[in-house]
Structure 1
């Protein structure tokens, strides 16, 4: 409330026909025809008067009416109230008050202030200078507003771009270069506690600058989500940016202080950019029939002549291509699952980098070089460190043309959006990895066969459109460690499924087992080791920067807990068959057709599935 001198209290009371006695009175508001007294006046202990029109007249309207009546009512504030204080700092129990920021209404009238302390902390209160500031709660009748509200509204009215940033320091850094900016008074985590959307009506260019930390990223998404609709109504857009600096916590003030310009801010792709909101999900449901028809047409086109063929012709068709033999065939969809902390992301990145660099074998499995798109939607900002550690350990340079990383969430069902972005980047991957499935299916029920059917359908379509392998990384169930979490229809729809189990017995290991290979026999289970690699740089605290890399382990032909060999686990029939094969001089590396032909010629019968396990064990022993 604006204050007036106490010696005017009686004059104002007389003019508005105030009733009552003492320090609280009610009178007729001079700004409108007031038959029922609606103006409340309160004489404060410091000799000032607070007043408010209960019928909704603004403070400036009431003040103007009093001035027109000849009363010498001063204008609110003897200084620019909306400016931050430049008065000298003051020491308090909380620290040294270095600045005070005033939050005003649209008319520039102060609602509350906020002090910045060193060591860094903040408090709201009253008083617009460090000397006058006192910590106090924001009154319940005061609705919080964005910082620098009058300047924000003026910029929107003029059609200028406006910025939403993490704090008042960033606001003033942008104002220093001629921009209009705002922020929230109570921190990055609380933007959604207040309805600020009405203040952005008419805005056409809103730019959110996130700090380089997890809190800043969530804040940017919250701001964008809350403002997209109101800004979209004006034909505008809400975009997200970050400082062009690697340091954790770097903000736009640091960016400008370093000498960068606003044109050098880095654009950040967000969830909203990919358009997988509720409207898109409804469209996905609506288009299921159309997409299924297109998928089947594309699958049919994979055949050289798209016509039925005889058995003889079938023998002449090319075999399925692969990136990692058996484990990652092209034109397929797959799933890798494991519990939290099982190193599954490290294993997947290691496999991806083997394919991208064309290393001949991935822990014993043949590799063919290809292009990889790694969608690191969980912990994506840390993937660069892992890639550099891998490159340093193997002394290899990773070709840019063979690896692209998307370090933010991208929804699997947004196939068209992903294909558009790949076209723009002139990149056609042979392997697409979504790490993880949970962060790439936001808003979808992972326990629903219907909704997960949309996900596997989108994966299949993406595989067909690109001629690529498409793999998701997922978690195990809460009570079941032998299958992925959620609807059982997902692994049932996959062509390949891997299970990864982490071990931390003094050293870091991971067991990798193919639990499903639709068109081939599963390879033997194997183990890899994870070793720490120290990178040449240090962090902002001067500490060494390290990461883990995957190195070769061993093929597991023995159960390490029970001591029973993998062959013995298959039973006496398998032991007897292997003995006969060895005695007949059959190559231990012989495949299923060779073994099957020998068995047929010697009158030995065994199921193909069981025989495949025997073949795998013989190869592993060799």
Structure 2
């Protein structure tokens, strides 16, 4: 018996609320009154099972409470260990190979702790060596070579619903089999393999459904009908305790104690006077309690998920995909306005991850990348070629040029299955709008369905699922319902000004947000590539539009300031970029609104430093801060002085004159620039004292 079988088939069924936690299991300790899941159970190297009770219970006490001993658990093991096998539905606890008549493995069924049964087929064309779909693979009975040998000898063969039951019967000295897929999946061609055998069909003792049908008996009757006239004999039985063969044997009953079922009705008719051994422990039945069994089962799952302080400490930290930015097994959104470089950034991330290359000095986790191109396929192809031309090698990303609709259950499940076969570390969906056609982005219900589909994709792959999305026309947040941002581990915003792309990090759920990152979009062939921006400090954070506005403020308005209209006209910055740039400058304190909320009047906070960005010297203590004067030609109203809230007046300024520098078009204040040269041509700035209001 393998260590995984000891854990799965002997120990875990006796524990209350066992649940997987990244390579080990947490359950309620049977040795003390455990209100929480404080018992850690895992497979060991020297022993098949390692118990660690955070309340201090000793292993031998726990074993006594379970009715077990080390001799039983440490029996010789000759089967392969399967603990840790990856599946699209979590770690496998058992692997069941299905082989043909000659022992050649055709496919394998893997069992997970939450009773999912994914199937994999050996496939040399896949990196993992498997594909996760049967397609046209031949279906056969479990343990077919052994079943054929037993049938040829005219021996008894037990037919059960699942591989686990079959293995328990084999361990008890019987020959047993089942069909792949469980109840309702029996095929008539399976009957030929049981020709000449004495067949005992063990029906699961299922409760009747709303139509009064019992799926276990329905399956047993189908199997029995197909074996009529083929097998030497056929009879149907059910467990004397519990639901199935595993429960029957675990309760202490021998195989001879199965309860015979009426072949017409499926009802048990045990022989009068028949004695059966008392079970060592019983399994509660659904009719022994007034509670809803579904609620009870769910409550057990919730109870098992409870963690104390030590359990929380044992949880692993988030695994980075791109250091400090994106994380494995998470949902992330990259948003921005149209044309602001979102797809360039997403593709650059994907390419670096595919090769394990550091991205802007940040380490990446190398692995498969699946990039769903839902729009602009030709453009993405050009960007791919540009990147390859720059780097000198293939990008290594797998592309899917198809708008898979994630709100379609069929599309979402199929896409998750295909992605799971690849086992990627990153899945990019570009763009969200094209995979949610017809959805109401402002509807929490529609976006909740999208989040559920994306989360299914995350669960089936363990990857970082990155959705590229647009943002609101007049805002800087994700467009649509807040359900998306609420579900995100990471949210990154891309904004573009000229050739400069800025990445901001509005949200990191499990880590501190990263500082703004500046990138340059550089032409390459028929497209462009992302390059690092070499600047640093405050000057590096200024975009092209921001620099233009700052230079216009200094050269044309000095410290007198300007209204929004005048500043936009003089700077020549397009309206679409102007207000975004001004807001950024206001946030950084490089511009100050000296006017009101309704009538803006912008002034520089300090004289400019390198790159056209103001320096920020410490203010002199005791120096009065005055409001600057405004050029008369830029003032509103009929003339005269304008009084602001602090009572200070704006006086007419000196007329502006052209800079005498060669080829310079700047206009400057002659009293502030006595050399009649702007700073760009080495002019010297002389501040003008302000007049205090009386």
Query: Under a length normalisation based on structure 2, what TM-score does the superposition of the two structures give?
Result: 0.34
